[in-house]
């Protein structure tokens, strides 16, 4: 398999994993996570909020899904741009 074929296969696998992960978190948004569960079991109250995120993951599955897609798109874009610049610089170094 060529290098380009391996890259395409890896991108497809990562994309499917990311979509599955977004779906998992969207469906589990209503359930408490580990820390929240321990706090509930021990009767510990949550403190005052220091900062509020622009999107709420805990509202409903639609909000969690949209927030997950936005996060995925931003991360994918940042990694894509970084690799594009890095690989372009690497090809210039190889020619020198």
Structure tokens at 36: 């929240």
Tell which wins on pLDDT, 67 or 93: 67
Residue 20 falls inside a structural domain: yes
pLDDT at 53 over 80: no
pLDDT at 94 over 60: no
pLDDT (0 to 100) of residue 78: 92
The answer to whether 72 touches 18, Cβ cutoff 8 Å, is yes
pLDDT in tens, 13-51: 988 988 888 778 777 767 777 888 888 899 988 888 888
C-alpha to C-alpha distance for 50 and 32, rounded to whole angstroms: 20
Residue 59 falls inside a structural domain: yes
What stretch of H or E contains 35?
Answer: helix 34-42
pLDDT averaged over every residue in the chain: 79
The helix-helix angle for 3-27 and 61-95 (nearest 10°) equals 160
Q: How many domains does the chain have?
A: 1
Domain that holds residue 63: 3-31+55-95
pLDDT (0 to 100) of residue 96: 54
Residue 85 falls inside a structural domain: yes
Residue 88 falls inside a structural domain: yes
Structure tokens at 96: 């020198």
């Amino acid at each position: 398999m060529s290098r380009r074929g391996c890259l395409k296969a890896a991108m497809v696998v990562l994309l499917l994993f990311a979509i599955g992960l977004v779906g998992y978190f969207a469906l589990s948004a209503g359930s408490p996570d580990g820390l929240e569960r321990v706090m509930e079991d021990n009767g510990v109250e949550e403190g005052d909020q220091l900062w509020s995120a622009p999107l709420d993951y805990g509202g409903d599955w639609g909000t969690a899904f949209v927030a997950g897609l936005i996060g995925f798109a931003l991360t994918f874009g940042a990694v894509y741009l970084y690799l594009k610049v890095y690989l372009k610089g690497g090809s210039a170094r190889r020619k020198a």
